[in-house]
Amino acid sequence: MFPNIYRFAGVLSWLLVTSVSSAPLPYQSSEKHLGVATCASSVCHGSIKANENYNVSLNEYVIWSHSDRHSKAYETLLSKDSKAIATKLGLRNAHTAKICLDCHADNIPKEKRGEGFQLTDGVGCEACHGGSENWIDTHTNKNTSHQENVKRGMYPTANIVDRAALCLSCHYGNDDKFATHQIMGAGHPRLSFELDTFQALQPPHFQTDENYRKRKPIASHTKTWAFGQIAAAQSQLHMLQGPLISQPTVFPELALFDCHSCHNNSMHKLDWHRRMNSARIKPGNVPIADGHLRMAIVIAHQVDRKIARKLIELSEALQIASGESRSRIVAISHQLLSIVEKLSHDLAGIELGDSEKEKILFDLINMGIEGAFRDYIGAEQAVMAIELIIIDMNKNEQSRRQIDDLYKQVENDEAYQPTRFVDTLQKLKATLN
C-alpha cells in the first residue's frame, strides 16, 4: 500500500470525487471471500438482462463471464504461452504458482476462502469488491447505502482513488506482487495501463445513469484519466523506494526502467533527445520509466503551477539519479511521491472544466509535436489521453480519422515511427482549430 498522508485529513464531500482514502485492498483485509457462485444466482447478479426495478442492473455476472477478460484470467495460466513462461522460470506449473495466481486469480489464503470459493474463477467479484462475508446479507436491501456496505468490508470501488489503486495493484504491481523483468523475459506481455480506457475495455458492468449519480460520485473521462495517471506515478515512485531497487544484484530491477531504451534502440540512428526533462542527463543513462510522471506534470499545470515546477525539477533529478546511485533514486522518489500525493489531494478539490480539458489536450499535442513522445511508451499513453479528452469535449467526430491513425501507429512498438507520429499530431491539431 502507498503511505497515505491524507488518511486523517477529515471528510471531503464525496460529490467532489472523494480522493482521500487508503482502504486495504480486497486480498489484504480479513473478511472471507464467499466465491463468484454466491453472487451469480439468477435472482441476484446473474440476470440475463438488465433489471429496471433495482438500483443496480443485476446482469453483472453475465457481463463479467461473457465479455470481461478477468473471468478468463485463471484459464490463461493453463495456456501454451503460460506453460512456456512457467518452464522458462523453472516453475512446475503456472496455474499453481503463487507469483502467477496473485494477479490472475483471487489468491487469498486458504482460511479466508468460503465454501463457494473457487480459485478457477480467476479475477472474480470479490477480487475487486472485497470479501463479502459481512455484507452479503445486508447489501441486498435497497436502503443500504454504499457507504454502509463499505463499512462492512466492501472495497470502495466507487472512490476513484481507491479504484485506481485496485486496478494498478495487478496492472502495474505492488510490494506483494510484481511482474519482474525475469517474468517479462520469459515471455509475459509488458504491462501498460490507463484507467479510463481500461474501464471502457473491461467492459463496465455499471451504468452511470441518474440513479447511479444519486448514490455514487462520478468523474469525467479526463478526471478519471488524471487520477489514473497520478495513481500510476505513485505506484512507480513507491516501487522505486522498495527492495526491487535496492537489492544487491548486478542491476536493479529492470522493469522499473524504460523498456524501449534497451529494446528497440539503434546504436546507429542516434536520437538522444527522446524525452522531456532531459537537458542535464548524461548520454548513455538508462532512463527510469517516467511516462505517468510526465502526464502528472501536464495535469499539475492545471492544478497548481508550483507543483508542476517542482515535479519537472525532481523528474529531471530522478533521471540524473539513475546514473548516480540507487540511494539517490530512493531519495528523489521519496520527495516526488509526497508532491504527487499533494497533487492528487488538490485535484480532488477542483473541477476540470472545458477550458482545463482543452489546455491539457493542447499541452499534450504541442508536447508531442515538439518531440516529447519520441519514446514509444510516452506515445502510447499520449494517444489514449488525447482520445479520451477529445471524446470528453465532444470533438470526436471531427478528429476521428487522425485519432484512428494515431492508434494504428502505436499498435506495434517495434514499428513505431516518431516522425510520423509528429506529422499526425500536426494534422490532428489542424482539425481542432
Could you list the residues that contact ligand HEC (CB under 6 A)? Answer: 36, 39, 45, 55-56, 60-61, 64, 69-70, 72-73, 76-77, 79, 81-82, 85-86, 89, 94, 97, 99-100, 102-104, 123-125, 127-129, 157-158, 163, 166-167, 169-171, 173, 177-179, 181, 183-185, 188-191, 198-199, 201-202, 205-206, 212, 216, 254-255, 257-259, 261-263, 286
CA atoms of 259 and 282, how far apart (whole Å):
18
* Helical residues (DSSP H) of 90-220, grouped into ranges: 98-104, 125-129, 146-151, 160-171, 181-185, 195-201, 210-215
CA atoms of 311 and 424, how far apart (whole Å):
29
Q: What is the dihedral of CA 129, 238, 363, 366, to 10 degrees?
A: -120
CB of 196 to ligand HEC, least distance (A): 9
CB of 423 to ligand HEC, least distance (A): 27
Grouping H, G, I as helix, E, B as strand and the rest as coil, residue 370 is: coil
Give the three cell numbers for residue 267.
546504436
CB of 389 to ligand HEC, least distance (A): 18
Residue number, 60 or 375, with CB nearest to ligand HEC: 60
Residue number, 292 or 342, with CB nearest to ligand HEC: 292
CB of 55 to ligand HEC, least distance (A): 6
User: If you compute the radius of gyration of the chain from its CA atoms, what whole number of angstroms results?
Assistant: 22
Give the three cell numbers for residue 98.
503463487
Residue number, 9 or 201, with CB nearest to ligand HEC: 201
CB of 413 to ligand HEC, least distance (A): 9
Residue number, 70 or 345, with CB nearest to ligand HEC: 70
Residue number, 113 or 171, with CB nearest to ligand HEC: 171
CB of 221 to ligand HEC, least distance (A): 13
Q: Would you say 271 and 306 are in contact if contact means Cβ atoms under 8 Å apart?
A: no
Q: Would you say 148 and 46 are in contact if contact means Cβ atoms under 8 Å apart?
A: no
Residue number, 167 or 329, with CB nearest to ligand HEC: 167
Grouping H, G, I as helix, E, B as strand and the rest as coil, residue 113 is: strand
CA atoms of 219 and 163, how far apart (whole Å):
12
